[in-house]
Amino acid sequence: MKWGQALVITLASGVAGAFATSALIKGISLEAFASILVAAGTLGLAYFTWQSVARTSDVIAGEDRRHQQGLAPLLTIEAKAGQRPIAGGAETGIRVCNIGYGLALNSVVILEGTLHYSATRMVEDTEENREQFKGKFPPDINSVIDGKNYLNVVEREWKPFERRISISALDSGGSYFQHEQEFLGRVSSGPVVLYRVATACYDDMFGNHYLTRYLDEELDCYEWQQPGHLRIPNPESR
pLDDT of residue 56: 47
Number of domains in the chain: 2
143 vs 141 pLDDT, higher one = 143
- For every residue of 171-231, which 3-state class applies, written as one string? CCCCEEEEEEEEECCCEEEEEEEEEEEEEEEEECCCCCEEEEEECCCCCCCEEEECCCCCC
Q: What is the mean pLDDT of residues 79-84?
A: 75
- In terms of domains, do 65 and 171 share one? no
- In terms of domains, do 98 and 174 share one? yes
- In terms of domains, do 91 and 9 share one? no
Give domain status of residue 166, yes or no: yes
Give domain status of residue 178, yes or no: yes
- In terms of domains, do 86 and 103 share one? yes
User: Range with the lowest mean pLDDT among 57-71, 185-199, 203-217, 222-236?
Assistant: 57-71
Q: pTM for the whole thing?
A: 0.64
Give residue 18's pLDDT band: very low, low, confident or very high (50, 70, 90): low
- In terms of domains, do 25 and 81 share one? no
Range of the domain at 39: 3-69
Give domain status of residue 111, yes or no: yes
pLDDT of residue 60: 42
Give residue 83's pLDDT band: very low, low, confident or very high (50, 70, 90): low
Give domain status of residue 112, yes or no: yes
